[in-house]
């Protein structure tokens, strides 16, 4: 998951480099004919990884383009990645880590640390405080985030 602009730019550079690597592989007729299994494994690996990174880029771009005044439906691959919901909601609502910290009565350093470690270092109460601030709920079997008026007023006052 891409969490910030730096990771976004690095990921775009990796995708570009992988595109060049794929083009070189496609031009390597010698290896394709003499070592077809090795060539195919290499090609499939780079292509698959590039597709994964392109999906992450598309997801991040959708989050940064989201209208923060609108609710957002979020998805995670599995329950082990539920912490990503909080990071995605913060990005979609265009809330900085400093603002989120103020909303849930934590420090900016705590929020940064939580996000850097995918909330594995957060207590259950920390997790709930951030979830409440971002309005992440399950609605009709989907994760939906929307900022309520209380938190919007606090953001506007910052």
- Tell me, what CATH number does 130's domain have? 1.10.260
Q: The domain containing residue 26 runs over which residues?
A: 5-65
Whether residue 21 is predicted with pLDDT greater than 80 in this model: the reply is yes
pLDDT digits 0-9 by tens, 59-108:
999 999 999 999 999 988 888 888 999 999 999 999 999 999 999 999 99
Q: Is the pLDDT of residue 19 over 80?
A: yes
Two tokens, residue 30 = 């010698």
The total domain count for the chain is: 2
pTM of the model: 0.86
Has residue 140 got a pLDDT over 90?
A: no
pLDDT at 141: 73
Q: Are residues 52 and 86 in the same domain?
A: no
12 and 53 inside one domain? yes
Q: How far apart are CA 126 and CA 107, in angstroms?
A: 11
The predicted structure's pLDDT at residue 38: 94
Distance between CA atoms of 140 and 93, rounded to whole angstroms?
21
Asked whether the beta carbons of 85 and 77 are under 8 A apart, the reply is: no
Do 80 and 144 share a domain, yes or no? yes
Whether residues 16 and 82 fall in one domain:
no
């Amino acid at each position: 998951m891409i969490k910030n602009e730096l990771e976004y730019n690095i990921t775009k550079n990796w995708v570009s480099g992988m595109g060049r690597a794929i083009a070189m592989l496609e031009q390597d007729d010698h290896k394709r004919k003499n070592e077809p299994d090795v060539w195919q494994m290499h090609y499939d690996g780079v292509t698959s990884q590039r597709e994964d990174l392109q999906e992450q880029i598309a997801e991040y771009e959708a989050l940064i383009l989201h209208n923060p005044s609108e609710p957002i439906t979020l998805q995670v691959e599995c329950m082990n990645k539920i912490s990503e919901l909080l990071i995605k909601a913060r990005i979609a609502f265009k809330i900085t880590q400093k603002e989120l910290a103020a909303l849930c009565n934590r420090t900016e350093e705590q929020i940064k640390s939580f996000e850097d470690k995918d909330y594995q270092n957060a207590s259950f109460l920390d997790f709930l405080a951030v979830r409440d601030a971002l309005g992440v709920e399950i609605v009709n079997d989907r994760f939906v985030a929307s900022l309520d008026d209380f938190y919007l007023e606090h953001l506007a006052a910052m």
